[in-house]
Structure 1
Amino acid sequence: MSSQFVGLLVLYLAILLACAPFLGRYIRRAVEDGNYSLTAWGRPLERLLYRLGGVRADAGMGWTQYAVAVLAFNLLGVVAVYALQRLQGMLPLNPQGFGAVSPDSAFNTAISFVANTNWQGYGGESTMGYLTQMLALTVQNFLSAATGIAVVFALMRGFARQSAATIGNFWVDMTRVTLYVLAPIATVIALALVSQGVTQNFDAYKEASLVTPVEYSQPKLDAAGQPVLDAQGKPVTEDLKTDRQTLAMGPVASQEAIKMLGTNGGGFFNANSAHPFENPNGLANLLEMLAIFLIPAALCFTFGEMVGDRRQGVAVLASMTVIFVAMACVAAMSEQMATPALAGLPVDHAASLLQAGGNMEGKETRFGIAASALFATITTAASCGAVNAMHDSFTAIGGLVPMLLMQLGEVVFGGVGSGLYGMLVYAVLAVFIAGLMIGRTPEYLGKKIEVYEMKMTAVAILVTPLLVLLGTSVAVMTEAGRAGVFNPGTHGFSEILYALSSAANNNGSAFAGLSANTPFYNTLLAAAMWFGRFWIIIPVLALAGSLAAKKRVPVSGGTMPTHGPLFVVLLVGTVLLVGALTYVPALALGPVAEQLQGAVTATAAK
């Protein structure tokens, strides 16, 4: 592990943890306090929106009403995003004249952006016009992020209230989160990114002449834009040569800001944050990494404020940080070492002033190994999915880290809102386990955890493993699933497992070797994304409703403290234990087997 990585990690955490408490308090006041002075500027607009929507801001909702509102709103979002893609050819702000997106790709993308996954089976700059990028994708980046924050507020109210029949008003929560939290911060980040060179315009694409012609190979596509397969079902490639380069333009910074802040991850360009127009330099890269964790970290302090004990939020944040730092260090050390195939060569692989050292394949030289490994850990610890390096080119263990972070349920900071409510579900499980060990009815924040709460907790925790493992099984057992694999064997299995882990856990990053823009994968992954999002939200809201109706139990001598180091250890252990028990067999067939194969190859080479 290089000193450069350690310094970058320390700087990153120092800035993040310095900002999070202040933002956490602001978020609580902005959403909960209708008379907060810092949000007075938007109150006339807020009231206007309520009148237009026929919403009574003072009317609370039970958990079933809240859940119906969440589902109805997001179903409407799917329809809107799908329609905009299919009608794209007739819409303005489309200087390249892109036609309608294919039905299966449009369906997959609509589900993806509504579910805060932002999985992209297409190249943004070669598929989507500016209006589609803004009205369909960027707008949904705000709304899907706001949905996650609204749901976690509902759960926090469940812990904070007692003998209550309501958990808030979904429409009020959505309005205030979007208007007072996401929009202002995203505007500031967008302007900062523009200052660093991120594109923001409506110009047509530019043509540039290359000094040296470029020869390259790419998959051959049919008239429908699907890969052409040979008789064995493998993709056909074609050799091309060009002396021209098209430079894509567009309103990039405005989408990039909310892409990171809302832990969305959907890039304007196919290369995502590895593209210099999205992420031009080290300062922009640091800003984007900070934006990813900013709200998830702040919400931990919001949680502490909501339940009247800031130490509770600090304990949750500490648990997230412990897992994150450990995973980041493993990824950095793995990438800093030479790949097994090269380890036997008589070459010095150590990092120095003259060379990056380690595994630079798939990484941008302007970021190097340290910033790439840290970015990969951050984006998969959070439910973001943005990438500044190709995860498919990481070492076997380096690639295992982002895969495992997703498989833990995206609770290590996680998506905005979704990470915290996922971690709180694990906290309920942790106190239940502790209660079993001492023979006492478990309590968390003064609420007894009984049969109903544990049923909802079990459903929320087990949904994504079911989707990941079942979906992976379907893909590897069918011809259509295997046809998209460019690298057969253990790495090909890892690509499929990574894709389903990413989709079901609403991350959106990918191992690039899987050709997933096919009717089979577009449908399979869309189902995983939808159920991976809303089959968790519904039991979380049910848990919130049940907790809100309970009375608070006074603290007694047998009450387990949930704000100290012991609880942090218990919570971290619970998260890792569930992940290990669920996914170790699948990981053994993929990245673990690949690492062992590489070690055997390196030994044979010597």
Structure 2
Amino acid sequence: MTVQGWILILVFTGILLALTRPVGMWLHALYEGRRTPLHVALGPVERGFYALSGIDPDEQQSWRRYAVHMLLFNAVLMLLTYAVLRLQGVLPFNPQGLAAPSEHLSFNTAVSFTTNTNWQSYAGESTMSNLSQMLALTIHNFLSAATGIALAFALFRGFARRQSKTIGNFWADVTRVTLYLLLPLCIVYAIFLIASGVPQTLAATADVSTLEGVKQTLALGPVASQEAIKMLGTNGGGFFNVNSAHPYENPTALTNLVQMLSIFVIGFGLTWCFGKAVGNTRQGWAILAAMVILFLAGTTVAYWAESAGNPVLHQLGVPGANMEGKEVRFGAAASALFAVVTTAASCGAVNAMHDSFTALGGLVPIFNMQLGEVVVGGVGAGIYGSLLFAILAVFVAGLMVGRTPEYVGKKIEAREVKLSVLAIAVLPLIILGFTAISSVLPAGLALPLNKGPHGFSEILYTFTSAVANNGSAFAGVSANTPYYNGMIGVAMWIGRFFIIVPMLAIAGSLAAKKYTPAGAGSFPTTGGLWVGLLVGIILILGGLTFLPGLALGPIADHLAMIRGQLF
């Protein structure tokens, strides 16, 4: 561990905290449907979309109608993506003449990008045409991210509204987020990436000669535009196989820092937006404080583990930090920080191979995802996941003081608690269930590259990443098979929508309640005690469930490593 590494971590955190309020203010304007400076240029586009589609943006929807429209929208997009991929061989903008992906790979990819997971069982530069990258995949990067933010807005309204039967308009929320937030930011972001050396072209390849005189053919394509929304929308699907470790996706230390910032910035802003929506920004800062504590704790463990290196290699005369699977231009600190950031959010982009991390260094990304990716989480998904834990935390606090639980002016009753438990229970049920199945079936055991605890970690990571809608991989499971493509596809769909529907039901239930002012017996939900309780509930309910699985995988792997045994 070095001073420079800690400076990077602290500067990164400080920049995000400085951006939280301004980003939150912009999000709150979209949440309320107010005019922004961009309405002068983009307002006609928004109104034209409503006119062509027959949508009334002022029409309010109940939680059931909001959920149905959201599910239908995503189902149609998934089918569109599947069709484009299966027809890739006969569609234009395919300069390499790439054939269509198989049925099971097309299914997996369509579900993956629809659910904001962006799991990739393929190498992008040798599998997907430019049209597939731009139309089938990048469009999902925008719309799945916009869907997540829209869902967060719906839950905010559940807390903020009083005796209301509605939680907003799904179509208006998605349109405004896409048009006034994601699209403008990505245009600026893509220009920055192009200036930094990231390609943006419809050309297929370029022939170059290395300094040693070796001739190589390098894949090209519309990389910068996909890279921008990939990071900002916490999507994570790379244009190239090695993702943000590729110099065409992430060429410099500056682009690396900006990419990490862009993964977190909307998630940070949404906490402030929530506080403003419920009339008390301290509520948002309290949620953010819990997130930052968990994030810094994970970063410390991962950075320490990677800086300490592998004792087995040290005994062989290879001292220093663990640099296996890492880019020299980033080093151990930036690689460890990126790994924690991308798994604390539901991004899944990687600038180093997590399968090559030390056992404890690899445990942190797994654990981040198993917490439900609420440390900051995906755009929208992180804050509504945190609020589900907040409902359970205030319920526990209510039991402690012997009073009816209340949170931001709403009584938390049996219905909200049951729905929160239902949503949170999805992760352990599917992650552990699918991992167990794949650990005993021949089709599941045939594809991990390692045996023993590390091989089990590879399987556990795969389904943790899928259900948590993260999309990163240990890179140790050859997943492009009918078994894994099918199982991972189902896991991704359940992990996304089986949490969203109970969450929307909670939003509808809360919106119908009266406002209850805080009294002398109310549990305070803005101070240090509340932050500590929330962190504890997240760790206990979100983390301890997975302790046996972690013990069989990365913890056993670590114990074997310090005994001098490698698998």
TM bucket (normalised to shorter chain) is over 0.9
Q: How does 1:244-323 map to 2 (within 5 A)?
A: 244-323=215-294
State the distance in 2 between where 1:430 and 1:31 align: 26
Aligned to 1:409: 372
What displacement does 1:209 show?
A: 4.7
State the distance in 2 between where 1:398 and 1:22 align: 33
What displacement does 1:439 show?
A: 1.5
TM-score by length of 1: 0.92
What displacement does 1:270 show?
A: 0.3
Amino acid across the alignment from 2:383: L
Deviations 1:66-96 (A, max 9, x none): 0001100000011011111011111111110
Q: How does 1:162-181 map to 2 (within 5 A)?
A: 162-181=162-181
State which drifts further: 277-286 or 2-11: 2-11
User: Is 1:330–2:293 an aligned residue pair?
Assistant: no
Deviations 1:125-160 (A, max 9, x none): 000011110011111100000000000000000000
Aligned equivalent of 1:505, options 451, 468, 472: 468
Amino acid across the alignment from 1:172: A
Aligned equivalent of 2:417, options 454, 460, 469: 454
Aligned to 1:420: 383
Aligned to 2:338: 375
TM-score by length of 2: 0.98
Aligned to 1:194: 194
Partner SS for 1:116: coil
State the distance in 2 between where 1:41 and 1:559 align: 47
Aligned to 2:443: 480
Partner SS for 1:431: helix
State the distance in 2 between where 1:591 and 1:249 align: 37
| Structure 1, gaps ≥5 residues long | 214-242, 350-356
Deviations 1:264-323 (A, max 9, x none): 000000010000000001000001001000100010111111111010000001100000
User: Is 1:561–2:532 an aligned residue pair?
Assistant: no
Deviations 1:214-265 (A, max 9, x none): xxxxxxxxxxxxxxxxxxxxxxxxxxxxx65320111000000000000000
State the distance in 2 between where 1:303 and 1:39 align: 23
State which drifts further: 430-439 or 31-40: 31-40
State the distance in 2 between where 1:31 and 1:80 align: 29
Rate the CA distance shift 1:547–1:82 in 2: closer, same or farther, 3 A. Answer: same
Amino acid across the alignment from 1:373: A
Amino acid across the alignment from 1:70: M
State the distance in 2 between where 1:346 and 1:104 align: 46
Aligned to 2:23: 23
User: Is 1:575–2:535 an aligned residue pair?
Assistant: no
What displacement does 1:98 show?
A: 0.6
State the distance in 2 between where 1:599 and 1:365 align: 25
User: Is 1:529–2:500 an aligned residue pair?
Assistant: no
Q: How does 1:6-21 map to 2 (within 5 A)?
A: 6-21=6-21
Amino acid across the alignment from 1:252: V
State the distance in 1 between where 2:75 and 2:203 align: 33
What displacement does 1:436 show?
A: 1.2
State the distance in 2 between where 1:29 and 1:312 align: 18
Partner SS for 2:113: helix
State the distance in 2 between where 1:68 and 1:448 align: 27
Q: What is the root-mean-square deviation of aligned Cα atoms in Å?
A: 1.3
Partner SS for 1:201: coil
Q: How does 1:330-369 map to 2 (within 5 A)?
A: 330-345=301-316, 349=319, 357-369=320-332
State the distance in 1 between where 2:558 and 2:185 align: 42
Partner SS for 1:579: helix
The answer as to whether partners of 2:50 and 2:56 remain within 8 angstroms in 1 is: yes
Partner SS for 1:477: coil
Aligned equivalent of 1:519, options 482, 490, 496: 482
Q: How does 1:194-273 map to 2 (within 5 A)?
A: 194-209=194-209, 244-273=215-244
Once the two structures are aligned, what percentage of the paired residues are identical?
A: 57
User: Is 1:74–2:45 an aligned residue pair?
Assistant: no
The answer as to whether partners of 2:275 and 2:283 remain within 8 angstroms in 1 is: yes
State the distance in 2 between where 1:140 and 1:324 align: 27
The answer as to whether partners of 2:94 and 2:129 remain within 8 angstroms in 1 is: yes
Amino acid across the alignment from 2:562: A
The answer as to whether partners of 1:500 and 1:528 remain within 8 angstroms in 2 is: yes
Partner SS for 2:439: helix
The answer as to whether partners of 1:293 and 1:378 remain within 8 angstroms in 2 is: yes
Amino acid across the alignment from 1:184: P
Partner SS for 1:121: coil
The answer as to whether partners of 2:370 and 2:543 remain within 8 angstroms in 1 is: no
Aligned to 1:541: 504
State the distance in 2 between where 1:513 and 1:585 align: 21
Aligned to 1:141: 141
Aligned to 1:235: none
What displacement does 1:36 show?
A: 3.9
Partner SS for 1:245: strand
The answer as to whether partners of 2:158 and 2:509 remain within 8 angstroms in 1 is: yes
Aligned to 2:347: 384
What displacement does 1:437 show?
A: 1.3
State which drifts further: 528-537 or 200-209: 200-209
The answer as to whether partners of 1:62 and 1:166 remain within 8 angstroms in 2 is: yes
State the distance in 2 between where 1:338 and 1:28 align: 44
Amino acid across the alignment from 1:298: G
Partner SS for 2:564: helix
State the distance in 1 between where 2:490 and 2:314 align: 42
Amino acid across the alignment from 1:249: L
Partner SS for 1:92: coil
State which drifts further: 184-193 or 257-266: 184-193
Aligned to 1:396: 359
User: Is 1:470–2:433 an aligned residue pair?
Assistant: yes
Rate the CA distance shift 1:250–1:37 in 2: closer, same or farther, 3 A. Answer: closer
Amino acid across the alignment from 2:13: L
State the distance in 2 between where 1:211 and 1:447 align: 66
Deviations 1:561-583 (A, max 9, x none): 11111110000011011133210
The answer as to whether partners of 1:255 and 1:268 remain within 8 angstroms in 2 is: yes
The answer as to whether partners of 1:30 and 1:39 remain within 8 angstroms in 2 is: no
State the distance in 2 between where 1:23 and 1:278 align: 25
| Structure 2, gaps ≥5 residues long | none
Amino acid across the alignment from 2:232: L
The answer as to whether partners of 1:130 and 1:250 remain within 8 angstroms in 2 is: yes
State the distance in 2 between where 1:30 and 1:3 align: 40
